Structures are given as structure tokens and as C-alpha cells.
Amino acid sequence: MQIIDLPDFAVVSATIGHLKANIPWRTLMYSKATIDISDVTIILAPKYPDRDEEERKKREKKQASLAEAEKVRLDEE
């Protein structure tokens, strides 16, 4: 949403309380299908690109460290 200067958001969790679908299977090509959704809850959190990038780098570093430790362990066997 860049119409106004707001940060990007990530969906943390979401629930739908009620979902009703009306699909006219016999006349699907000629009639409209409707979906009614109610009691929707969406929890958003602002995205922090710098923090997300830091977390990604930490994960990659940890995975590389674990892979190296596994390699050393296998070489010792």
C-alpha cells in the first residue's frame, strides 16, 4: 500500500470465523458463484527489511556452521 507512506506489513496470523460458498455446479458457466466471509481477524506486523536481512544472515551463518561441524564429525569416523 504505497498510496500513503506506510511501512510494508506481514501477516502474522489470520482467522475466518464463517465461510459460506454458493456454487451452482449445474449452471456454473452461466450463473454466478458467491462466497460470503465473516468474522475475519487479521493480525499484521510491520516489516523491517534490515532486521529481516540480519535474521536471514544469522540463519545462513548458523546453517554453514552446522554443516561444517557435520563434515568434521563425518571425517573423524
What are 55's three cell numbers? 535474521
The reported pLDDT for the residue numbered 58 is 84
Taking the C-alpha atoms of residue 65 and residue 55, their distance in angstroms, rounded to an integer, is: 15
Instruction: Give 25's DSSP letter.
Output: G
The reported pLDDT for the residue numbered 34 is 95
* Total-model pTM: 0.45
Taking the C-alpha atoms of residue 75 and residue 67, their distance in angstroms, rounded to an integer, is: 12
N residues, the chain: 77
> What is the residue-level pLDDT of the chain in tens, covering all 77 positions?
456 666 678 888 999 999 999 999 999 889 999 999 999 999 988 877 666 677 778 888 888 888 888 888 777 76
